[in-house]
Amino acid sequence: MTAILDGKVAVITGAGSGVGRAMAELFSTNGCEVVVVDVVPDRVDQVVEKIGSKRASGMVKDLSNKNQVEQMVDETCEAKGRIDILCNNAGIMDGVVPVADVSDELWSKVMNINLNAPFWASRRAIPRMLKNGHGTILNTASVASFSAGKSGVAYTVSKHGLVGLTKSIAVFYGSSGIRCNAMVLGAVNTAIGFGSATPSPQGVDLLMKKTFPAIPRVAEPIEIARLALFLVSDDASYVNGSCVVIDGGWSAF
């Protein structure tokens, strides 16, 4: 019996932990060869070891660096011959810091990892996908893509931008066989925390005021990965430019 992602090659960023790891594991059990990309070498090794070298290979890259992002795409194409699926998933939080308190350093770091890296990776991967006549890009967005009370300004702006990137790719390349979508996550049980920034007391206070979702718990990464599996598969052949909300009803409240 053929599996839903049989014969596909997927690059998944931030796959050493949380949502990215769950996607790597689920995609691989559904026939996909996954390239596990993360900045933390131990995490990459652990995930590749768990999945096994038949279905997974690892790459240690710092996605805040444009050259390393481009190398990620180039090295995958050299090793595997192509990229069918690109999951721009890696992301960091911003300490919930409001605009007047954001340093240039924090702003650049969050923008580079959360928004510039998906742009750099997509820009590099799309010509390869066009050559193959198909491809799908899945971006990990957030409820902070549509509102401002879930993070600080840097994260909010980066995730709003990611939705724009998603729609633009979908519009320009949909007719050439490339689909691009985003998952809009609520709270998920991962290691993301507040990021390396010192948490802003004002921001943390704001975040703690969050309305409990209609389903009163955070999601497990596997629940997100199941949506990802559908969106990158041919079962979602008419889903393009969509921002699919998966937040337990938080934003519907």
Ligand X SMILES: NC(=O)c1ccc[n+]([C@@H]2O[C@H](COP(=O)([O-])OP(=O)(O)OC[C@H]3O[C@@H](n4cnc5c(N)ncnc54)[C@H](O)[C@@H]3O)[C@@H](O)[C@H]2O)c1
Is 24 a binder of ligand X (CB under 6 A)? no
Backbone angles phi, psi at 7, to 5 degrees: 80, 0
User: How many whole angstroms separate alpha carbon 185 and alpha carbon 140?
Assistant: 7
CA 124 vs. chain centroid, Å, equals 16
* Minimum CB distance to ligand X, residue 97 (Å): 15
Residue 236: half-sphere exposure toward Cβ, Cα within 13 Å: 26
Cβ pair 224, 205 in contact under 8 A = no
Query: Which one of the listed residues 120, 155, 173, 250 is annotated catalytic?
Result: 155
Cβ pair 215, 172 in contact under 8 A = no
Could you say which of 11, 12, 19, 72 contacts ligand X (CB under 6 A)?
Answer: 19
Residues in the interface with ligand X (CB under 6 A) total: 27
* Bridge partner residues of 245 (DSSP): 184
Q: Which of residues 30-89 bind ligand X (CB under 6 A)?
A: 38-40, 43, 61-64, 89
The number of helix segments (H) and strand segments (E) in the chain equals: 8, 7
H or E segment to which residue 202 belongs: helix 201-208
* Minimum CB distance to ligand X, residue 130 (Å): 26
170 vs 187 by CB, closer to ligand X: 187
Q: Which of residues 197-226 bind ligand X (CB under 6 A)?
A: none
Could you say which of 190, 200, 233, 242 contacts ligand X (CB under 6 A)?
Answer: 190
Helix orientation angle between 117-132 and 66-80, rounded to the nearest 10 degrees: 30
Q: Which of residues 92-151 bind ligand X (CB under 6 A)?
A: 92, 113, 140, 142
64 vs 76 by CB, closer to ligand X: 64
177 vs 215 by CB, closer to ligand X: 215
Q: Put the strands of the sheet holding 135-142 in their side by side order.
A: 56-60, 33-38, 9-13, 85-88, 135-142, 178-185, 243-246
104 vs 175 by CB, closer to ligand X: 104
Is there a catalytic annotation at residue 238? no
Could you say which of 8, 9, 14, 194 contacts ligand X (CB under 6 A)?
Answer: 14
* Minimum CB distance to ligand X, residue 139 (Å): 8
Residues of this chain that interact with ligand X (CB under 6 A) are: 14, 16-20, 38-40, 43, 61-64, 89-92, 113, 140, 142, 185, 187-188, 190-192
| Residues involved in catalysis | 155
